Structure 1
Amino acid sequence: MGNTNWKARALTAAVMAGLMGFAAHAEDPMTKQDKEMQKQGKAVGEAAAKRVNYVGKLAVFNSRQIKLATLAEEQATDPQVKQFATQLRQDHEKSQEALRTWAQGQKMQISELSESDMPSTGTGGSGGVQQGYDEKMKDTSEKLGKSIDKTNEELAKLRAKQGPEFDKAFLSRIADDQKMGKDILKEGRKDYKNDATFLALLSQTEGVVNSHEMQVKDLEKQMKK
């Protein structure tokens, strides 16, 4: 009797195992599909975060040039340096406005484009899209925030200088910044070479940066004479 019960239990276990295996197999296609959709959504979220990261970086660069130029308009003593500072501010205000207009068209929220002290970003979506976006955005605010803090520190140091010393320090700072700007723009042209509208915006800003780089070199040479 005991032996019969053992066989019955073994048969029941075998049948249950078979049914469970069949059920798992039947659900495999849906599970794979879900995983693939999750993967694709995550890639979309990561790409969106990467774009927001980049636009935030460019916005901070524009804002930095505007702040430095505004200080030089107030504090520079050489008339040519003052004139250059005004041109620098106006050019980057235009670049920032163009970037803001583009971002609004993309429904992209970056508070630095609204002259806020801290950049903030956001996107809709759920599942893999949101996961990919959130993972990629973890350090964005911190990195951009550090860039803004660095600018404020440099502004404070520049503000403490007077006369020709200020003019030379300002030009030196802007000369270094143009190299940084060119690196940022090079990155954008590489990553978004298939986006004609955005590429045109970057090319316009690149023209501004190249022009400022040449002007700074000329001014620095004149001040060494």
Structure 2
Amino acid sequence: MGKTNWKTRAVTAAVMTGLMGFAAHADDSKSKQEKQSMEHGKAVGEAAGKRVQYVGKLAVFNNRQIKLARLAEQQATDPQVKQFATKLREDHEKSQESLRSWAQQKKMEIGALSDSNITSEDQTGTGGSGVQEGYNKKMEGTGEKLGKAIDQTNEEMTKLQAKQGPEFDKAFLTRITADQKKGKEILKEGRKEYKNDASFLALLSDTERVVSGNETQAKELEKQMKK
């Protein structure tokens, strides 16, 4: 009888050990799955943060051109420069509006689109806590960087505003020529990074054509003023 009980206990112990092993394995699998989900979420969040940073940088560029153009509309003395300034402002206002519409469709909040610092992106339904963690990590210091860019624009505006007559016109055109070159670099970066996003790529390509055209026109006006 004792022998039978021993066998029963042995079988029961074996079954229990098997069940415990299965449970432990299930916990390990679950833990691994959770870790993979978290890592995936972080990657998604970082990618979202990177996109927001880029859109913010492009928005700041547009705002800069609009501000400089408005100043030239008021202060330029050469009629051609004034006319160019109006075209520059209208071009970048249009580019900014296209960027704003695109961002709204993607449920992004880009403070720089309203001439402020970059803020956040709606992450609803994008994949758990890992997403927010990855996003926050990527966005560290972004507002400060864009704030510095805005401060730099304001400082250059003040210096430019102090100039008068032909001196202002020349300085404005020189500033715009340099800016358009930087703008093309920003747009080239975006077209390379987001080449698989058809709608965003189209937006960037349209803006790049505008920037290239304005760079050419600014250079031509500079040459005319040197004669």
Alignment TM-score, normalising by the size of structure 2: 0.87
The unaligned stretches of length 5 or more in structure 2 are 1-16
Match of 2:119 in 1: 120
Match of 2:85 in 1: 85
Measured after TM superposition, the shift of residue 197 of structure 1 is 0.5
Q: Encode CA deviations 1:36-83: one digit per residue, 9 max, x unaligned.
A: 000100010011001100000000000000000000000001111000
Which residue of the other structure, out of 145, 148, 158, is the alignment partner of 1:146?
A: 148
Alignment TM-score, normalising by the size of structure 1: 0.88
What amino acid does structure 2 have at the position aligned with 1:196? A
Q: Does the 8 Å contact 2:107/2:121 carry over to 1?
A: no
Match of 2:72 in 1: 72
Give, in whole Å, the separation in 2 of the partners of 1:153 and 1:24. 63
For residue 77 of structure 1, give the secondary structure of its aligned residue in structure 2. Answer: coil
Q: Encode CA deviations 1:65-124: one digit per residue, 9 max, x unaligned.
A: 000000000000111100000000000000000000000000000122123x32322333
Match of 2:14 in 1: none
Which residue of the other structure, out of 174, 181, 185, is the alignment partner of 1:183?
A: 185
The 5-angstrom pairing of residues 52-63 of structure 1 reads 52-63=52-63
Q: What root-mean-square deviation, in Å, do the aligned CA atoms of Structure 1 and Structure 2 show? A: 1.5
For residue 123 of structure 2, give the secondary structure of its aligned residue in structure 1. Answer: coil
Match of 2:109 in 1: 109
Give, in whole Å, the separation in 2 of the partners of 1:127 and 1:189. 30
What amino acid does structure 2 have at the position aligned with 1:90? E
Give, in whole Å, the separation in 2 of the partners of 1:171 and 1:62. 16
Sequence identity (%): 68
Match of 2:8 in 1: none
Q: Encode CA deviations 1:110-149: one digit per residue, 9 max, x unaligned.
A: 122123x323223335410000000000011111111101
Match of 1:167 in 2: 169
What amino acid does structure 1 have at the position aligned with 2:161? R
What amino acid does structure 2 have at the position aligned with 1:170? F
The 5-angstrom pairing of residues 194-205 of structure 1 reads 194-205=196-207
For residue 161 of structure 1, give the secondary structure of its aligned residue in structure 2. Answer: coil
What amino acid does structure 1 have at the position aligned with 2:49? A
Give, in whole Å, the separation in 1 of the partners of 2:70 and 2:80. 14
Match of 2:3 in 1: none
Match of 2:136 in 1: 134
Structure 1 residues 114, 199: CA separation in 2 closer, same or farther (over 3 Å shift)? Answer: same
The unaligned stretches of length 5 or more in structure 1 are 1-17
Give, in whole Å, the separation in 1 of the partners of 2:206 and 2:26. 56
